[in-house]
Amino acid sequence: MKGIYLDYAATTPVNDEVLQAMLPFFSIRYGNPSSMHQLGITNKKTINESRKTVANCLNVLQEEIYFTSGGTEATNWAIRGYADAYPEKKEIIISQIEHHATLHTCQFLEKKGYKIHYIPVDKKGFISLKKLENSINENTLLVSIIWANNEIGTIQDIKAISEICKNHSVALHVDAVQAFGQIAIDLSLYDISMLTLSAHKFYGPKGIGCLYVKKGISIEPLIHGGSQEQNHRSGTENITGIVGMAKAAEIAISNQQSYYEKLSYLSSRLHQRMIMDFDCVLNGPELGGRRLPGNLNYSFRDIIGTQLTYWLDQNDIFVSTGSACNSDSIEPSHVIKAIKVPDEYIKGTVRISLGNEFLETDIPRVIARFKEGIDSVI
């Protein structure tokens, strides 16, 4: 029997239309985009068309999009590249619930003498805007905030955050890896200096993402070599990935509203059963509020989340204990700790994230397996 995949926040399968768009670039359209012959020149054109497509999806300029190897590289580059461009400023502000791409980049800079401010969050994962504003001073280099949290789905008030940063003339980087495709993102409505995307979270391929860098913002390259990506990110372009990302972004934007509604409906149906059948708490904001529509994150009383996840895996239900990067750990993640989940629940955290292939008719099987799983690991 086919398993039930409930880990779309970790990654999504490649959409078939995306795959079809990519295939020629593995075979007949193999030219190096830097080559000065037809095979190269047409591929360079294709890259720039893809750049334009991604730019249109965000409502920004084509030359503001730089392709990278994914979300992690884009975020490393935003923070370190900006720090290198403005070495006189030595303080960075992030939230307590950033993805490891941001957190570990900042910890790396902390060892090099930077001061990192970790803005606390409330029980639902919302950052304190007051503390954010109070942390900004003349030495602040950058604020970097995750738009929608990958573990508990909290959607930050990026409008308010961007206004605070603008009022204090501080650059803002936003990790929109989980947000893109699920909520509306029109960058003309915000004052955001840099923004990270990753294609494999919206039915595109893995290993490709981009960094939006607003015109007028300078960042030093992270990767040196040839003159690709407007001299800012060297290395022969991942054209198959770039074409796939552009196609996936186009589809995600045209389906965003219906995808939001579909996931909201499915998660509310599943949630009703979860809270009825189990002694668990929902982590993050209430459903229908400022929460990613496909995200459900529960802590079960007196359960070890990793044991339950393992049992479910053996029984063909694929969930995650938190962020995929720390799923081997029995320790609650930094996000779960930051929102202060009660002691009796904190180790029993499981993230369910819904996506395209999940059906309402899967819900009874999911609930039945959770019941058996909880009985066997308790």
Ligand X SMILES: Cc1ncc(COP(=O)(O)O)c(C=O)c1O
Q: CA torsion sign, 167 to 75 to 179 to 150?
A: negative
In whole angstroms, give the CA distance from residue 132 to residue 172: 12
Shortest Cβ 209–ligand X spacing (Å): 5
- Judged on CB neighbours under 10 Å (0-12, 13-18, 19+), 231 is exposed
Contact assessment for residue 268 and residue 354, using Cβ atoms and an 8 Å cutoff: no
Q: Which is nearer to ligand X, 209 or 285 (CB)?
A: 209
Cα 267 from chain centre: 19
Shortest Cβ 178–ligand X spacing (Å): 5
Q: Which residues contact 126 (CB under 8 A, 6 or more apart)?
A: 154, 156, 157, 285, 290
Shortest Cβ 198–ligand X spacing (Å): 3
**Is 312 strand, coil or helix?**
helix
Q: Which is nearer to ligand X, 47 or 179 (CB)?
A: 179
Contact assessment for residue 307 and residue 374, using Cβ atoms and an 8 Å cutoff: no
Residue with tokens 């880990």: 7
Q: Which is nearer to ligand X, 177 or 280 (CB)?
A: 177
Nearest to 199 by CA among 248, 263, 259, 255: 248
Question: What proportions of the chain, in percent to the nearest 5, are helix, strand and coil?
Answer: 45, 15, 40
Q: Which is nearer to ligand X, 64 or 175 (CB)?
A: 175
Nearest to 21 by CA among 259, 255, 256, 242: 242
210 catalytic residue (yes or no): no
Q: Which residues bind ligand X (CB under 6 A)?
A: 70-72, 99, 101, 146, 150, 175, 177-178, 198, 209
The order of strands in the sheet holding 194-198 is 65-68, 209-213, 194-198, 171-175, 140-146, 91-95, 115-119
**Residue in the shown chain whose Cβ atom is closest to ligand X:** 71
Q: Which is nearer to ligand X, 93 or 197 (CB)?
A: 197
Q: Which is nearer to ligand X, 40 or 235 (CB)?
A: 235
Shortest Cβ 266–ligand X spacing (Å): 20
Shortest Cβ 275–ligand X spacing (Å): 25
**Is 158 strand, coil or helix?**
helix
Shortest Cβ 68–ligand X spacing (Å): 9
Please tell me which residue in 57, 106, 280, 325 is annotated as part of the active site: 325
Residues forming the active site: 325
